[in-house]
Structure 1
Amino acid sequence: MNNRRTYVLTLLAALAGSALALYAITRTWSIQLTPRTGLSDLREAHTGTDREPWVTGLAVVALAGTGALLATAGWVRRALGALLALAGAGVAAGAILGRAGLDPGSAGAAGTIWPIACAIGGVIIVLGGLTAFTQGHRWPGMSARYDRKPAAPERPSVAADNRAAWDALDRGDDPTD
């Protein structure tokens, strides 16, 4: 596969993994119903963020790191790939830890699907980070097309030296050239 295609697919994978992890961690992972006499049951919903709040932060770091892959090149991009892989591993581990021992209660299948989706998002981030780490130095960098160009050096003016200007006029030359 060529470098540009790998670059685009890695960016899309890391972006999709981050978005999936962020979405899944904010969904309801468990619903506990507490019966009350003469009243409706008390419903208490818990999201993945309630169980493992730091996973949300890692997913946001992965999302920002994906954007930073666009702006970096060389060894910085490789280091960023390693950071993405670590963040993705943390997201996957947090999803597994958050689900371990959790009683989904009335959440049903959602109590299983959302933690799995979050872990899958973490694995996708890891794969994107590892690809950036191994191949990122070969990918194209940002264009310098709109970068500010340095100012041209000022050339000395003949008119700055009055004597040279009058001498040029005496010879019939234009001193402003």
Structure 2
Amino acid sequence: MNPRRQLTLAVLGGVLGGGLAWYAATRVWWTEVITRAPFPDKTVEHDGTSLAAWVLPLAIVGLAGALALVATRGVARTVVGALVAASGLGVAAGGGYGLAEQPGVWPAATALGGLLVLAAGAAALRSGRTWPHMSSRYERPAKAAPVSDDPAALWNALDRGEDPTSLNIGQKAPGEGSSG
């Protein structure tokens, strides 16, 4: 499989898994009925965050990290991949814990989402260095240091409407001809 396709699948898997876990963690995992005689029974609905509070934040981290794989490269992509894999592992553990405590479809969906995020992070760790990255045209250009340390020359450049950090002070600005 070519590297661009691997990147695309990892990002889509991470986003899908993080989104699924985010959605599933906010659904009602179980309903508790509290009897309060002589008063009416009280029904309390518990979502995934009631049982495993860490699931929702980790699902969001996994989703954002999967998107960040596109914007990173080299060591940064490896670090993001490790973060995505760790968050996926935490989400899957929360879903598994929910399945053990209160079996249902939403804990299973949370665990599945966590496994998708974990797979995206593992793919980034395994082969993320070979994936394509954004070109250098998206990076900030290096800041040119002014040639002159003379404050008057810097002010004069500003007065002419020039950026003193990008032009060599003392040289003629583009469009300036010789007078004479």
Give the TM-score category using the shorter length: 0.7 to 0.9
Distance between the aligned counterparts of 1:33 and 1:11, measured in 2?
A: 41
Q: Deviations over 1:112-157 (max 9, x none)?
A: 1000000000111111101011111111111232444455652754
> Could you say what the CA RMSD is over the residues aligned between the two structures, in angstroms?
2.5
2:168 corresponds to: 154
- Is 1:69 equivalent to 2:83 in the alignment? no
1:112 corresponds to: 104
Following the alignment from structure 2 to structure 1, what is the Cα–Cα distance between the partners of residues 121 and 171? 56
Q: What letter corresponds to residue 51 of structure 2 in structure 1?
A: R
Q: What is the number of equivalent residue pairs in this alignment?
A: 154
Q: Provide TM-score, normalisation by structure 2.
A: 0.75
Question: 1:33: which partner in 2?
Answer: 33
Greater Rg over alpha carbons, structure: 1
Aligned to 1:141: 133
| Counterpart position of 2:121 | 129
Amino acid at match of 1:54: W
* Letter aligned with residue 142 of structure 1: M
Give the Cα–Cα distance (whole angstroms) in 2 for the partners of residues 157 and 89 of structure 1: 59
In structure 2, stretches of 5+ residues that fail to align are: 145-165
Higher relative contact order (CA 8 A, sep 6+): 1
Q: What is the match of residue 163 of structure 1?
A: none
TM-score of the superposition, structure 1-length normalised? 0.76
| CA–CA separation in structure 2 for the residues paired with 1:59 and 1:146 | 28
On the 8 A contact 2:69/2:77 being kept in 1, the answer is yes
Percent identity among equivalent residues? 41
CA distance in 2, matches of 1:39, 1:45: 19
* Deviation at residue 83 of structure 1 after TM alignment: 1.7
Counterpart Cα distance in 2 of 1:46 and 1:175: 80
The C-alpha deviation readout for 1:45-100, integer Å capped at 9, x for no partner, is 11111111111111111122112212210122122212211111111111111332
C-alpha spacing 1:175/1:157, structure 2 compared with 1 (3 Å): farther
